[in-house]
Amino acid sequence: QLHFAESLSRLGTESAFVVLARAGQLAAQGRDIINLGIGQPDFRTPEHIVEAGIKALRDGHHGYTPANGIGPLREAVAADLHRRHNVEVNPDHVVVVPGGKPTMFFAVLMFGEPGAEILYPNPGFPIYESVIRYSGATPVPIALKEENGFAFSADEVLGQITPRTRLIIINSPANPTGGVTPREEVDKLVAGLAAHPNVAILSDEIYSQMLYDGREHVSLLQYPEIRDRLIMLDGWSKTYAMTGWRLGYAVWPASAVDHVTRLCINDHSCVNAATQYAGLAALTGPQDAVRDMVAQFDARRKVIVEALNALPGVRCPDAAGAFYAFPNIEGTGMTSKQAQDRFLDEAGVATVAGTSFGRYGEGYVRFSYANSTENILKAIERIGGLLG
Ligand code: PLP
């Protein structure tokens, strides 16, 4: 019998992948499954980006690159952040990694250890709590509530800071709720953080281009007073429909750049070269594909929110950002997990229980609307048949 490290028992997972596997099994048995479970765009990566990746391979970019990413890509990231958020970023503070997740893992490993406390959104992306536990730190949930549009309350976050707090993780637009934190709340948080100068902030802005109804993304980079302790995470997965390419980045505080670069060298050496060239084409090329995808998400969002609200026992709040609807299903008499299982087994619709995103997700189910309008309507109709 192998003697696995105790730390492994503390490592969680992302249930969306478990649901995806189960949906795949059912589909293999011949069931017609509609997948509203997975958090990835259903679009192909735009063609000019694919071509740039192929060209990089043909041009012989087959070797290691600098561990923090090729210079032109880090410069393009800085230019993109200037264009989108009107902020100055030093390309040397940009570290390119394979996807959004590695930044999370490295940031938590950098600050997490037994005795340390890390605040994180709940319900929230499940990897936050998983890696906090893995690091030995104590996870302290920031409860996100429907009545606040699933945005954090700055007072509540600040009220949970103790002398042991090392890192605060925030995420807007948010997975799984679609919540967007308004600027006033971010202003208030940043002002309050002045009293806690040793606390770092990880702002997960991976959905920064997916906001609807004229909402504007508030990047934490827009607050110079916290630049020396801000890790701003973004990437290509969602914006450019590039989840399988594995490409993301973060802007790190100057004092953390060497640490994160060493983590990259120890972990993966560098992101594969062709992917980095594809990512460069994504940032420097035309952005119409992004606008088109967001417009389609917006149209589907309206369809799904309306259809969910018409179901008995279901109340679906406005979905302000990302590509998720997070309806309350308490009125159906089911728990989140029961709803997830029945929707899949009896209606052939894959969704993810709110509790997969933390205990404050009880009573909710996540629907990803990264699927066709036709499939969305069919899925909700089938669930309607189940709820009778
Ligand atoms: N952050 C959030 C909030 C996410 O929802 C996701 C993916 O679902 C990620 C980060 C990770 O993205 P990636 O696939 O690039 O690792």
- The 10s digit of each residue's pLDDT in 45-67 is 999 999 999 999 999 999 999 99
> Residue 140's beta-bridge partner residues?
119
- Which residue minimizes the CA distance to atom 8 of ligand 1? 39
Looking at the domain assignment, is residue 17 inside a domain? yes
Band (pLDDT 50/70/90 cuts) for residue 249 is: very high
Question: 216 and 248 in one domain?
Answer: yes
Question: 295 and 275 in one domain?
Answer: no
pLDDT of residue 245: 98
pLDDT of residue 313: 96
CA of 269 to the centre of ligand 1 (A): 21
For 174, residues 6+ apart whose C-beta sits below 8 A from its C-beta are 121, 124, 144, 150, 180, 181, 207, 321, 322
CATH number of the domain encompassing residue 222: 3.40.640.10
Domain boundary among 253, 284, 315: 284
Question: 298 and 239 in one domain?
Answer: no
Looking at the domain assignment, is residue 49 inside a domain? no
CA of 386 to the centre of ligand 1 (A): 31
- 117: enclosing H helix or E strand: strand 117-122
Looking at the domain assignment, is residue 343 inside a domain? yes
Looking at the domain assignment, is residue 316 inside a domain? yes
- Which residue minimizes the CA distance to atom 5 of ligand 1? 175
- The 10s digit of each residue's pLDDT in 94-142 is 999 999 999 999 999 999 999 999 999 999 999 999 999 999 999 999 9
Which amino acid belongs to residue 337? K
- Which residue minimizes the CA distance to atom 6 of ligand 1? 100
Question: 231 and 331 in one domain?
Answer: no
Question: 100 and 35 in one domain?
Answer: no
pLDDT of residue 155: 97
Atom number, ligand 1, closest to the C-alpha of residue 125: 3
Q: Which of 175, 217, 267 to mutate to test the pocket of ligand 1 (most atoms within 8 A of CB)?
A: 175
Looking at the domain assignment, is residue 21 inside a domain? yes
Q: Which of 210, 238, 268, 368 to mutate to test the pocket of ligand 1 (most atoms within 8 A of CB)?
A: 238
Whether 251 and 87 have beta carbons less than 8 Å apart is answered as no
202: helix, strand or coil: strand
Atom number, ligand 1, closest to the C-alpha of residue 243: 14
Question: 126 and 81 in one domain?
Answer: yes
Question: 263 and 122 in one domain?
Answer: yes
CA of 100 to the centre of ligand 1 (A): 5
Q: Residue 159 is part of which domain span?
A: 64-284
Question: 214 and 340 in one domain?
Answer: no
Structure tokens at 13: 């997972």
- The 10s digit of each residue's pLDDT in 278-288 is 999 999 999 99
Which segments of the chain does DSSP mark as H helices, in order?
A: 15-28, 47-58, 71-85, 101-111, 126-135, 154-159, 183-193, 257-267, 273-284, 288-309, 336-347, 373-387
- The 10s digit of each residue's pLDDT in 261-280 is 999 999 999 999 999 999 99
Question: 356 and 219 in one domain?
Answer: no
Q: Is pLDDT at 179 greater than 90 in this prediction?
A: yes
Question: 302 and 355 in one domain?
Answer: yes
ipTM higher than threshold 0.90: yes
Band (pLDDT 50/70/90 cuts) for residue 242 is: very high
pLDDT of residue 48: 98
The pTM assigned to this predicted structure is 0.97
Residue for token pair 């969002």: 301
Q: Which residues line ligand 1 (CB under 6 A)?
A: 39, 99-101, 125, 171, 175, 204, 206, 235, 237, 243, 248
Q: Is pLDDT at 184 greater than 90 in this prediction?
A: yes
For 245, residues 6+ apart whose C-beta sits below 8 A from its C-beta are 45, 53, 236, 237, 275, 278, 279
- In the chain, how many domains are there? 2
CA of 250 to the centre of ligand 1 (A): 13
Question: 22 and 118 in one domain?
Answer: no
